[in-house]
Structures are given as C-alpha cells and as structure tokens.
Amino acid sequence: MKAPPDSTRQRLNELFCAEPNPRIKTLPLAAQAAKKNELKKPMQIKDMASPREPKSALGAALAYAAAGFPVHPVKGKVPLTKWKGAASTDEATIRGWWERWPNASVALVTGTRSGLFVVDLDIDKATGEAIGEASAARLGLAECFEGAPVARTGSGGRHVFFKAEEGFENSAGKVGEGIDTRGEGGFVVAAGSPGYEWLGPSIVELAPPPVPEKIGKAIRASKKKDGPKPMPSASSAADVVAFPMAALARQLDVMRAGEAGSCAWAEQAMLAEAGRVIAAAPGTRNHTLNRAAFSLGQIVAGGGLDRARVVDALTRAARAAGLDEHEIGPTIESGLNDGAASPRTAPERPSGHPQASLAPLPAPDVLACRKAALAARMVRATDVRPLLAAPYLVKGWLDRGAMSVVYGESNVGKSFFALSISHAVAKGERWAGCRVVGGPVFYVASEGGRSFVNRVAALDRPSERLVVIPVSIDLCGSTLDVEAVAALIRDEAKVHGEPALLVIDTLARSMGQGDENTAPDMGAFVRNVDTIREETSAHVMVIHHSGKDRARGARGHSSLRAATDTEIELTGEAGIVVAEAKKQRDMANGRRFAYQLAEVDLGEDQDGDAVTTCRVEPCHVPEKSALTPISPEQRRVLESLRQFVGDRGTPNPGGTGWPEPGARMTVDLVEFKRFAAAKEPDAEEPKKASRRVRDMLMKLEGKGLVRCNEGRIWIVPRGGNVGT
C-alpha cells in the first residue's frame, strides 16, 4: 500500500476529522480508539485542499484512490457500477462517476484487490445496543480490535480494518450475532460518505494489521458449520417470487392489467420491496429485509395488503438473496410490527392521470439516521492537522503506484532513459540526485531485440531485482496478458519484495490490434494498466512517441494524458537529451534532467569486431534557448499577459511549484483568459476567442515561456526555468 501525497493527506484530514455525533451512542470500542489515538492540538494550515474541491464523497474517493485503494460509487449500499471489475484508482474515472452521480457515497473494495479485510460490528437499530461488540466480548474477540483502524458506520456500528488474507470471504452473523465480515468479493461503504467517519487514524495513516489468530479461528470454525443450502424454486409466475425474473414478470402483468386504486399500488410496492431484497448486496441484506418489512407493514396496517402474503413474499425473496433461515422470520416480524404503527394508504392522484409508482415515505428511524449522518459531516477547522509524508518512487519525478508516460521523437533515447531509472530503482540508489525507494522492476521490452539485451549488459553492476521481459504483450484487446503480467509480478514479489516499477516499452507494441488514436482502444489500454497497478501496487511507466505537433505532447487519443499522473518529454539537440516533467498530478512541473549517451565497449564478435552499446551519462542541464520561436498568435497572447501582469500582478508565494517567494508577479488565470479573449481580433465571438487563448497558453507553457500553479500564471524570463 502506498502512502498518499501531501495534498491527498490534507484532503483526507479535511474529510475525516469530525466531532463525534452526540445522537449516536458512544460505544466502548469508540472510547478505546479515541483514548488510544488522542489528537494533539492541530496546527493552522495555510495550504488546504483547493476550495473548489468540496468536502464530499468525491473528495474521499479521490483520497483513497491516491493511496492505492480501489473505490466505486454506491447509493446507500447499492453499487451504481459493475463494481467487481470497475472499481478503480484512476482519478478521471472516479470524477466521471461523481459527475454522473453527484450524491453517491464512496465504497472501498475488500479482498486481494485492496488488501483489506473488514469486521463489521452491527448495532440493534431499534435499541441502539452494540450487539456486535457485545457478541465479540462474549467470544473473547474484543482485544483483537486494538491497534486496528476503526470507522463509525452510518447506523452507529463499527468497521474494523485488517490486512486481507486468502480464503477470508464475506459472511453475515456467522462468526457471532451482529458480527459480519467483508473479504474477497465484498466492499464496505467508507468514511467520507454521509454518516461514516474514522474514529482515529485512517487506513492511510495506519496500515491495517494482520487478522488476529482468534478471529481467524472463529471464521474458519463458522465455515465448518455451513452446509449446502437448497436452491429456492419458482413455483409459478403467480407466486411473488423466488427469482428476480419472476418478480419482473409479475410486475409487468400488474402494469398491463391497468388496475386502479390502492390494490394495484400496494401490489407494485410489494413487488418492488421483494426485488430490493433479492438484489441487496452482501452485508446489506438483513437491513434491506427489515426496511422492506417496515414499509409493507405500513401498507398492511392501512388495509392495502394481506399480512400473510407479505410474509410469504419477503420470505421467498430473503431465501433467494441467501439470508440464513434463522434470521428471516424475526427480521420480517420486527419490521412489520414497527411499520404497523404508521399506517399508509395509496396516495391520491389527479383525475385522468395514470397512477405513478411512488417510493415509500422515509421511515422515522431512517430519517433520524440521515439527520445524524448530516450532523456527522460537520468539520471544524481546528481539527485539521498537516499530513507531510509523500509516497514517491523517485522523489520529485515519480509517485509510487502511479502511471507515467515518457515520450519523445524516434531515436532520442527513450529506452535508455527508462532503463537508467529502472536500474536505479532496482538497486535502490539515487537517480539524478533524487532519493529513490527501491524494489523489483519489470521491463517489458517489446522493441529492441538483441540490442536491448546489450543495453542491459552495459549497466554498472545491475541488480537481480531488474527483470527484462523481451516480448510484445497485448494490453488492449485481451485481458490474458493483463492477468499474466500481474500474476508474474505477484509471484516475483513473494521472493524479492513489493514491486516498485513496471516499464511498458512501447505503447504502440502493446496495443495488439488496437488503435491508439481512438477513445475506446486507448480507454481499454488505460483500464488494463490500472488493473495491473491495482493488483500489484507497482508504478507503471509507458514509453511512447511524440505527436506531429510537439506542443500537443504524446501522440494518440487525449484520454491517455488525462489518465497519466506524470508526463515526461525527451528532446535532443547537439548530442544532449533533456528530460522535462510536462505534467505532474501532485508535484511541481518543470523538473529537468539532461544526459548524453556514452558508448560502452562490450567485447568482440565472432569476427573480432568491437560490439558496443550506450548508457545514460548525466550532464549539465542547458538553459532553454533565448530564441524560442513563437507564432504571431502566441506573441499576441504573451503581450496581453505582460500588460495584464503589469496592471494587476501580485508577488508569488513560496512553496511547491513556485519560484522563490516574491520572485515573479502573478495574475489569476481565469481573469487573464477573459482579458486576453476580449483583445483578440474576433472578440465578438467569445467562445472562439477563448479557445484560441487557451490553446496559445498551452503552447507557450510547452515552450517554457509561461508557468501556471494553483490557478495563477506568470511569465518565465528567457533562458529561465520553473524556479524563475
């Protein structure tokens, strides 16, 4: 598991440090966690996450993803995606989900994909009693939870996080009353969602410990008690159903009949609630059954349904969902009795309009829970602390577990550059003067053949942790190579430790029959790279080629750049190659490293002729040319920027991504774009003028003439760099 960057850690703190909710009982486990993890008085933070990044489930999702934990969106506890394959750590994917479902909560995958195993301690929703904790105490398991990350759930229960172990799956009440588990093939709604919060260090700040032996024994013992359960049968379409398709058929029959009045409305409500029970995700089934019984109990009390039919329908649905037989009857009975206290009848409808299928009104306990959840989201500024650790692979250049693209023109030395980084990471030695967190490196060399082998032989005392795979792979049209590469890396990790880096050289040779210029094929490539990253925790570096227009970066569809955390461009002139970080998601852009390709003599061939190759030799970084050519359009925008800076510029602050404090006069980027667009020749067409200004600014930044950071822009002196 990788640690998050500073900005992510700040966001986590911002999201998860909240005052305890006085409306939810403080349980013994919470008291222990609070005492054990008592917070010091926090420092004032100047560099908070961007105010445009709201305190939201989206922010939590991005924070978890940055730490290497796959997430997916849920509504309540119902997944909004095919989460088993879609859960992701990719920022663009996650933002796309929340753009589509802005009110979604965030869920964490459990099992091998995330390395998480969760013990879920429930409460009695009617009394607020901590039945899960009481059961754990009776079984002698309470002490096992000490030292593990703990989160409060929306209902007031507890999620206790451990390291995933093979064979530990999902269960409901099998370990003990009120004790559920989430492992392989499961997920939990995470802190940062409404009503959920950490009760001490999060899983990012505190690595989950292994599952204690006592809990492991209890889980294995519960498995031995389980016998095969008979499959439910669907006797006829007239039954309210054992299977979802039968429920759907029954519902369609009712709608086609066009029945009016309370009977049709009540029948549809019963079918809808039965369907919700059948479709409930593991860990939510008992709660869903209770809510369904409560809702239908209201309609029974209002005279719309027969109680025996409701019991029969919900019992069939619960069996189809896989609930234990001993849970079903008491849960339905409790829900029906509670619902009977608030009778409900069919809502009146305007004459001449068809009856709409209305969702049940929220139950009082649900409303109270939601109110408590909103109160739990309140965050006090005094609770925020700085988060300082950074999860780097090569400090200032590559983040651990992220994705980078190294691109440049043909024969500029891209493979030599990637191999030099791979060599340093495998040995755990500094690269370009930067600290390195070492580990196993896997280099997929799809190009080069025999010559690449010689390049490896030319390295200075290479490490056995550097592994070369000299074959082409397909990361676009098939998942076979994706799973094979991930499995190979995992096997090596058992011997040589957690994988650090995977190099894919090149993208073009790793697309199979795919087209790098189309969104579907490039999207498939990116998703497969994400799968490898998620399953191995390795940083994936992709070697690629420049496009025809160097100012536009690497060639191919733009979705590659959107998904990339780090983008490094290689340019060569007069025998010197310069590597420059053009994009950094969580670090400053503009870092530069220069090198020459030094010849290395390997020996003689069968004819006595010298066999040579090259390797990277660092050299002095040349200043950017003072004669960088710019177009008339670029010059016009640059002159507008000089004027705007002269009128409204303010000195820059210091810190990451900035020159020395006060070295440059900066202006607001958005305000400048409006100003420049108004000075364009076609200013009467604002959209067209704005697009041109945006494009020219991108090209000026690509040429090193302007820089942007935190929404502000400034002019770089000719011959300068990011630090000026």
Could you read off the pLDDT of 158-170 as tens digits, one per residue? 999 999 988 888 8
Please check whether residue 355 is in contact with residue 349, taking contact to mean a CB–CB distance below 8 angstroms: yes
Q: What is the mean pLDDT of residues 594-612?
A: 89
Give the mean model confidence (pLDDT) for residues 45-64: 57
Strand partners, 502: 442, 540
Q: What pLDDT, on the 0 to 100 scale, is given for residue 641?
A: 93
Predicted pLDDT of residue 418: 94
For strands 398-399 and 441-445, give the pairing: unpaired
Of the chain, the percentage scoring pLDDT greater than 70 comes to 79
d(C-alpha 283, C-alpha 140), whole Å: 23
List the structure tokens of 546: 């420049």
Query: With contact defined as beta carbons under 8 Å apart, do 616 and 595 qualify?
Result: yes
Q: Does residue 42 or residue 12 have the better pLDDT? A: 12
- Kindly state the tokens that stand for 472: 């082409």
User: From its phi and psi, is residue 439 left (phi > 0), alpha (psi between -120 and 50) or beta?
Assistant: left
pLDDT at res. 128: 74
The full length of the chain comes to 724
Residue 71 has what pLDDT?
Answer: 92
Q: How does residue 628 score in pLDDT terms, banded at 50, 70 and 90?
A: low
> Is the pLDDT reported for residue 385 higher than 90?
no
* SS3 category, 244: helix
Contacts of 41 (CB under 8 A, 6+ apart): none
Which of 192, 170, 80 lies closest to 116 in space, CA to CA?
170
Q: What's the pLDDT tens digit per position in 521-575?
A: 898 899 999 989 888 889 999 999 887 766 667 888 888 888 898 999 998 876 7
Per-residue pLDDT, 624 = 61
**Which CATH class name applies to 392-619?**
alpha beta
**Residue 489 — φ and ψ, nearest 5°?**
-65, -40
pLDDT of residue 257: 43
Give the pLDDT mean for 300-320. 85
Residue 536 buriedness (CB in 10 A; 0-12 / 13-18 / 19+): buried
Cα–Cα distances in Å, from 644 out to 213, 677, 701, 720?
67, 12, 17, 21
Nearest to 697, CA basis, from 625, 631, 622: 631
pLDDT for the residue 376:
73
Give tens-digit pLDDT for 637-684: 988 998 999 888 999 888 888 888 888 899 999 999 999 999 898 888
Give dist(CA 490, CA 586) in Å, integer.
27
Q: pTM value? A: 0.41
Region 177-202: mean pLDDT is: 88
Mean pLDDT of 360-376: 69
d(CA 366, CA 291): 9
Q: For residue 112, what are the contacts with CB-CB under 8 A and spacing of at least 6?
A: 164, 166, 184, 535
CA distance 255 to 266: 12
Q: How far is CA 117 from the centre of its chain?
A: 18
Digit-coded pLDDT (tens) for 506-524: 899 898 888 898 888 898 8
393 token code pair = 């692979």
For 230-285, how does the pLDDT look when each residue is reduced to its tens digit (9 = 90+)?
A: 333 333 323 333 344 344 344 434 433 443 444 677 887 887 788 788 777 666 77
Angle at 638 between CA 635 and CA 642, to 5 degrees: 135
Cα separation, 512 vs 56, whole angstroms: 39
Rounded to whole angstroms, the Cα distance separating 93 from 528 reads: 13
> In this model, does residue 590 exceed pLDDT 60?
yes
So what's the pLDDT on residue 259?
39
**Could you tell me how far CA 572 lies from the centroid of its own chain?**
36
Does 112 score more than 60 pLDDT?
Answer: yes
Query: Chain-wide mean pLDDT for the chain?
Result: 79
CB atoms within 10 A of CB 52: 6
Residue 337 confidence (pLDDT) above 70: yes
Q: Which helix (H) or strand (E) holds 271?
A: helix 261-279
Identify the CA nearest to 196 among candidates 231, 153, 249, 165.
153
**Beta strands 403-408; 539-545: pairing state:** parallel
Residues 419-458 pLDDT 10s: 999 999 999 999 988 999 889 999 999 876 667 888 998 9
Nearest-10 crossing angle of helices 686-702, 632-648: 90
Question: Rounded CA gap, 192 and 57, in Å?
Answer: 5
Domain boundaries, the chain: 6-225, 244-346, 392-619, 632-715
Neighbours of 612 (CB within 10 A): 12
Q: Give me 695's structure tokens.
A: 């494009």
Provide the H-helix boundaries in 108-243. Answer: 131-138, 213-225
Q: Give the model confidence (pLDDT) of 130-165 as tens digits.
A: 888 888 888 888 888 888 999 998 888 899 999 998
The pLDDT confidence band at residue 223, using thresholds 50, 70 and 90, is: low
499/532 Cα distance (integer angstroms): 11
Distant-in-sequence, close-in-space partners of 355: CB < 8 Å, separation ≥ 6: 260, 264, 265, 346, 349
What pLDDT band is residue 712 in, cutting at 50, 70 and 90?
very high
Tell me how many helices (H) and strands (E) the chain has.
21, 25
601 vs 599: CA distance, rounded Å: 7
What pLDDT was estimated at residue 204?
86
716's tokens: 């770089």
Model confidence at 488, in pLDDT bands (50, 70, 90)?
very high
The contacts of residue 35 (CB under 8 Å, 6+ apart) are: none
CATH classification of 632-715 is 3.40.50.360, yes or no?
no
The proportion of the chain whose per-residue pLDDT surpasses 90, expressed as a percent, equals 22
Examine the pLDDT at 227 and tell me if it is beyond 50: no
pLDDT score at 54? 37
